[in-house]
Amino acid sequence: MNTNKPAVPNTTVTRNVHDLDRTTDNLYESLVVIAKRANQISNNVKEELHGKLAEFASSNDNLEEIFENREQIEISKHYERMPKPVLVAMDEFLNGKVYHRNPAKEQK
* Tens digits of residue pLDDT in 64-82: 555 567 888 888 889 988 9
Amino acid at 13: V
Is 42 among the domain residues? yes
Is 7 among the domain residues? no
Q: Which of 11-20, 28-37, 74-83 has the highest mean pLDDT?
A: 28-37
pLDDT band at 1 (very low <50, low <70, confident <90, very high): very low
Is 79 among the domain residues? yes
What's the whole-model pTM score?
Answer: 0.76
What's residue 59's pLDDT?
A: 61
Is 9 among the domain residues? no
Is 61 among the domain residues? no
Is 3 among the domain residues? no
Q: How many domains does the chain have?
A: 1
Is 10 among the domain residues? no
Is 82 among the domain residues? yes
pLDDT at 20 over 60: yes
* DSSP per-residue string spanning 49-61: HHHHHHTT--TT-
What is the largest distance, in Å, between two alpha-carbon atoms of the chain?
A: 64
Whether the Cβ atoms of residue 66 and residue 59 lie closer than 8 Å to each other = no
* Cβ neighbour number for residue 96 with a 10 Å cutoff: 9
Structural domain including 33 reads: 23-55+67-97
Better-predicted residue by pLDDT, 75 or 9: 75
What's residue 69's pLDDT?
A: 75
Amino acid at 16: N
Whether the Cβ atoms of residue 49 and residue 1 lie closer than 8 Å to each other = no
